[in-house]
Structure 1
């Protein structure tokens, strides 16, 4: 089974490597050609265009940045060139409407489309332990399950098109809200004279503990290292889409609105390409403190 992979970024590059290591033939395409160099050296084939990749592959995977990118790649390239019977797997975090739109257009072409957003970050992609949330036709899901197993540790089929995207946005809602709450707490505690490392120790051994607290403090904030695992601008995109779902569900006021504003402001302050934990930086500046390891 020949696999095409479009989007060789932080996540996609690691997924492609795992697929190659498990014996799959993989063709790759990326808008920035420099990014395909490593996969090609590892055994992938570089296609010069999306059209050529779509014409030559039985399964097409995409892992892109924004909903607009997904619509463009599918509507202007994949769906016009893929053969009937092709199965498309989109690992991007997008709104359910985007997934449903592409799925309906794919069906008209005799193509299957699965929304399969992932959680677990670069480390999960590298180890093959991602959580994969799947929406779409179950028969198509069953056909590509072995492929998903290469990159995922927890794989859940959730229902019709859009279901995977909804589940991922609910996860990202919690990520954004927890990130903001962690930042607020650590900045406030520091402002009132608590030693950041001591406060963190207390929180991480109490009911206030969370994976986000541990991730942000241990891997990013204390070391003042904000190279991205998941960037601020992407969390802003995800929480904005998640908030739309909460509004559609009937909620009027909810904590995600504050998180969306915090991530919007951080992006506008030039922090969009930093790790999501950098949402703490404007709060530190506002309160005149820096949350760092004890000297």
Structure 2
């Protein structure tokens, strides 16, 4: 089975390595050729364009940035759907809205190509270890066919139902990521504003009911050391919470905490932090209150 992989950035490159380590024949494409050089050394074959890759491969994976990228890569004149052979199975690992997933599914289906929405959670470390959670929507038979591939990438593989179901589950997860990020930031900034030692406060919170995985991630890996090189960038969480908020409105909710989280990530973007780690959402709050959450000394 020949696998094509489009999008070899922070997440995609690690997934390709996992596939290679599991003995798969992988062809890769990325707009920035420099991003595939290390993968070529590991055995991946670089393909010059999407149409060629689409014609050559039995399964095509994509890990892209934004919904517009997915639409272009799949449905553009030089896209996957126009050039893939009937029977090809596409696995889109990008976080997009359910409407985008359903549109790609229907367009692909008309060409006898299968399309699975299969967004992931677990960050670069999960991609590196092959421990991702993968949430899948689409045709169940196609899912079962590519399950061995998904198991090379993740530990928690869940088939959730028809097209769009995987994307909905991922956006709900991202909703919590965004809201927890804002709440953790507000709590830590408030403590600093009242003179509490940030390390001591964090030590208390992580053994109390206020603990969360996001609180630990942000404080231990980024904020306290003032290191904001991205694992997951502000711009991606901002995109995801915006899409998630649309789901909540469609569900019938009018006022919800995600609206505040979306604004907080918008503020971080407006202050030039879009490419920083999502934990940088704390920085506008620190400026507002005139404090910095960091280790002492």
Q: TM-score scaled by structure 1?
A: 1.00
Match of 1:269 in 2: 271
CA displacement, residues 178-208 of structure 1 (integer Å, 9 cap, x when unaligned): 0000000000011001100111011100000
Match of 2:69 in 1: 69
Match of 1:99 in 2: 101
Report how far residue 234 of structure 1 moved: 0.2
Matched, 1:123 2:125: yes
Match of 1:81 in 2: 83
**SS at structure 2 position matched to 1:270:** coil
Matched, 1:187 2:193: no
Instruction: Extract unaligned runs of 5+ from structure 1.
Output: none
Match of 1:27 in 2: 27
Instruction: Extract unaligned runs of 5+ from structure 2.
Output: none
Matches of 2:234 and 2:131, distance apart in 1: 23
Matches within 5 A, 1:276-291: 276-291=278-293
Matches within 5 A, 1:1-295: 1-76=1-76, 77-295=79-297
Report how far residue 280 of structure 1 moved: 0.3
CA displacement, residues 17-58 of structure 1 (integer Å, 9 cap, x when unaligned): 010111100000001111010111110000000000000000
CA displacement, residues 183-237 of structure 1 (integer Å, 9 cap, x when unaligned): 0000001100110011101110000000000000000001100000000000000
CA displacement, residues 117-173 of structure 1 (integer Å, 9 cap, x when unaligned): 000000000000000000000000000000000011000000000000000000000
Matches of 1:164 and 1:127, distance apart in 2: 22
**SS at structure 1 position matched to 2:28:** strand
Matches of 1:4 and 1:108, distance apart in 2: 21
Q: RMSD of the alignment, in Å?
A: 0.4
**SS at structure 2 position matched to 1:271:** coil
Report how far residue 268 of structure 1 moved: 1.3
**SS at structure 1 position matched to 2:60:** strand
4+ residue runs of structure 1 moved beyond 2 angstroms? Answer: none
Matches of 2:31 and 2:51, distance apart in 1: 13
Report how far residue 286 of structure 1 moved: 0.6
Report how far residue 294 of structure 1 moved: 1.6
Report how far residue 265 of structure 1 moved: 1.1
Matches of 2:263 and 2:186, distance apart in 1: 14
Matches of 2:22 and 2:40, distance apart in 1: 15
